[in-house]
Chains A and B, each alone.
Chain A
Amino acid sequence: MKIKQLSIFLQNKLGRFAEMASLLGEAEINMQAFTVAENAEFGIVRLIVSDVDKAAKLLIEHSFAVSVNEVFLLEMPDEPGALAVYVNKLSDAGVFIEYMYAFSGANGKAVVALKPSDAALCEKILG
């Protein structure tokens, strides 16, 4: 399934991530998963939260550069070979994975957030 993710541009500046995390915490918004893509001078935090619209509004009000975009969420048993099945299907169909990150879901499941090069094709394959 597809889910909305926040991408937040952060300058490499001491305390900037802490500021973001505190803001979300005070607003009772839970960070369910995130990853940081880093560069020499800035990073992009990709973040899945409990309330994406509220979080986006709050962060923009506090001058964070936020964009909202979609990623695919794959839920699977937390066991060897589970992910390989999916990514093989995608590569066979010619879909690149721009990035992905994994986290633990409910009931001992593993969850992977994935950004494909071709969202329409990816949706068709993963159903």
Chain B
Amino acid sequence: MKYWNEKMECMGAEDMRALQGERLRNIVRYTYERVEFYRRRMDEAGVSPDDIQTIDDIVKLPFMQKKDLRDYYPTGMFAAPMDEIVRFHASSGTTGKPIVAAYTASDLDDWAEGVARCLTAYGVTKDDVAQISYGYGLFTGGLGAHDGATKVGCSVLPTSSGNTAKQIMLMRDLGSTVLCCTPSYALYLAESIEQDKDTDVARDIKLRIGVFGAEPWTEGMRKALEENLHIKAYDIYGLTEVSGPGVGGECECQDGTHIWEDLFYPEIIDPVTLQPVEDGKEGELVFTTLSKEGMPVIRYRTRDLTHLTRGRCKCGRTAVRMAKILGRSDDMLIIRGVNVFPSQVESVIMQMPEFTGQYFITLDRVNNIDTFDIDVELKLEYHSDSIKNINAIKAKLNAKLVSVLGIKPDVHIVEPGSIERSMGKAKHVLDKRNFK
């Protein structure tokens, strides 16, 4: 089976826009009637639900952002009564209150539909054994992938995250063919399999497809994962505020992430002027949920930076494609006045076979000057007797980083295995600068 939902994934542009317009009309009226936040914001902007007729009218509506969701914690953004809510999830909320998301039965069904479309696009079928190594619980990764894989009919292995030795044992013994987890955990799993004397990737591991998301990752990371685990690695995109993983996913062409735009309408705006930018130009990704009942969002600013491509993909889908996300605008580091994304550092490290791919960035400020330190691990086989050789590899990395980033970091070679491995979303940066 090539498509999970051919009608929606391959719909012509005009039909899609008509459907989106109809759904937008409904969701705007629905939220205006049920949620004080939307009513007040639309009234302030002088827009009434009657002003929204086609999808083009979306630009009349005000934006919303993460702060709004926090301000209305815990239930202020819910549009459905509690007896219709069947599930909650919550963001990690590293600062302040978490964001709580609420789902009706229909929302869970749409969410699983989105994941099922992604899995089918990667080539997953009911014959696959899907190991879900995303964390189960408040995080949307585990249960989201679980419900989607169940919908497809896979044999689901809900290992959740952590306990890596057991993950590998079950992967081997039950013959997992699909692995769903964060790319950084997949890298750690690959490393652990390599070190496991009883397990040989080619002989004992049957994985063929990796479903990776929940954090930005680079083409270099993809290459490393595909080579180390003998798989095809695909991106799955999503966020708790919009639903969870499965807002979109890549197809076998690996040429952009298809967004299921009949459910989640994407726009790209200039984050400064807030004006729409044309297709192909980079800007901030904004989402409107077109069918959600529990907690819809309208023109939600994701902080993710990307661009969109329209037109039919080689796979036959017309669903709009989004370029790989290089980072959230929130992730961008400003170091000595230069914008740096951790993903840029990752892409350089991944290009050099000498390193394990693990890295950790530490920022500090000493005498009013930013310090920028990067720890990297030299692979065991590149260790030698010679400090000169190790320093030469370090100098090579330094030169590449300077040319990509435009500023010079202090690179430190550390022992392989000494950078903490992540079971979930990887933490790559510690910013000790105090701007207060």
Point out residues on A near B: beta carbons under 8 Å. 5, 7, 9-11, 37, 39, 41-42, 44, 46, 60, 63-67, 69, 98, 115
A9 to B418, CA, bound (A): 12
A63 to B416, CA, bound (A): 7
> Which A residues touch B417, using CB under 8 A?
63
B387 touches A65 (CB 8 A): no
> Which B residues touch A41, using CB under 8 A?
412-413
B387 touches A11 (CB 8 A): no
Q: Which of B164-172, B332-340, B376-384 contacts A (4 or more CB under 8 A)?
A: B376-384
The verdict on B404 contacting chain A, using a C-beta distance below 8 Å, is no
Would A11 and B418 be within 8 Å (CB), given that A39-B387, A41-B412, A115-B385 are in contact? Answer: yes
> Which B residues touch A65, using CB under 8 A?
378, 380, 383, 415-416
> Which B residues touch A44, using CB under 8 A?
385-387, 390
Q: Which of A10, A46, A115 contacts B415 (CB 8 A)?
A: A10
B415 touches A7 (CB 8 A): no
Closest B residue, CB atoms, query A5? B385
**A–B complex contacts, Cβ < 8 Å, 27 sampled:** A7-B385, A9-B378, A9-B383, A9-B390, A9-B413, A10-B415, A11-B414, A39-B391, A41-B412, A41-B413, A42-B390, A42-B413, A42-B414, A44-B385, A44-B386, A44-B387, A46-B385, A63-B415, A63-B417, A63-B418, A65-B378, A65-B380, A65-B415, A65-B416, A66-B380, A67-B383, A67-B385
Interface positions, chain B 392-436, Cβ under 8 Å from A, are 412-418
Q: Mark B28-63, 1 if CB is under 8 A from A, else 0.
A: 000000000000000000000000000000000000
Nearest Cβ in chain B — how far from A122, in angstroms? 15
Nearest Cβ in chain A — how far from B385, in angstroms? 4
Closest A residue, CB atoms, query B416? A65
A69 touches B380 (CB 8 A): no
A63 to B383, CA, bound (A): 13
Would A37 and B415 be within 8 Å (CB), given that A60-B380, A65-B378 are in contact? Answer: no
A29 to B380, CA, bound (A): 22
Nearest Cβ in chain A — how far from B54, in angstroms? 61
Q: Mark B221-241, 1 if CB is under 8 A from A, else 0.
A: 000000000000000000000
A99 to B19, CA, bound (A): 75
Nearest Cβ in chain A — how far from B250, in angstroms? 35
> Which A residues touch B413, using CB under 8 A?
9, 41-42
A64 to B380, CA, bound (A): 9
> Which B residues touch A69, using CB under 8 A?
384-385
Would A7 and B383 be within 8 Å (CB), given that A63-B417, A65-B378 are in contact? Answer: yes
Closest B residue, CB atoms, query A7? B385
Nearest Cβ in chain A — how far from B382, in angstroms? 9
> Which B residues touch A39, using CB under 8 A?
387, 391
A42 to B391, CA, bound (A): 11
> Which B residues touch A60, using CB under 8 A?
380
A32 to B413, CA, bound (A): 28
Closest A residue, CB atoms, query B377? A65
Would A7 and B380 be within 8 Å (CB), given that A65-B415, A65-B416 are in contact? Answer: no
Q: Which of B378, B384, B414, B418 contacts A7 (CB 8 A)?
A: B384
Closest B residue, CB atoms, query A69? B385
A98 to B385, CA, bound (A): 11
Nearest Cβ in chain A — how far from B378, in angstroms? 7
Given contacts A9-B415, A42-B390, A42-B414, 14 further A-B contacts (CB under 8 A): A5-B385, A9-B378, A9-B390, A10-B415, A11-B418, A37-B387, A42-B413, A44-B387, A46-B385, A64-B415, A65-B378, A67-B383, A98-B386, A115-B385
> Which A residues touch B383, using CB under 8 A?
7, 9, 65-67
Nearest Cβ in chain B — how far from A116, in angstroms? 12
A28 to B380, CA, bound (A): 25
Nearest Cβ in chain B — how far from A9, in angstroms? 5
A41 to B386, CA, bound (A): 15
Interface positions, chain B 339-395, Cβ under 8 Å from A, are 378, 380, 383-387, 390-391
- Which of B380, B385, B414, B418 gathers the greatest number of chain A CB atoms within 10 Å? B385
> Which A residues touch B412, using CB under 8 A?
41
> Which A residues touch B416, using CB under 8 A?
63, 65
- Which of B386, B412, B416 gathers the greatest number of chain A CB atoms within 10 Å? B386
Nearest Cβ in chain A — how far from B146, in angstroms? 34
> Which A residues touch B390, using CB under 8 A?
9, 42, 44
B387 touches A67 (CB 8 A): no
> Which A residues touch B391, using CB under 8 A?
39
> Which A residues touch B418, using CB under 8 A?
11, 63
Nearest Cβ in chain B — how far from A101, in angstroms? 13
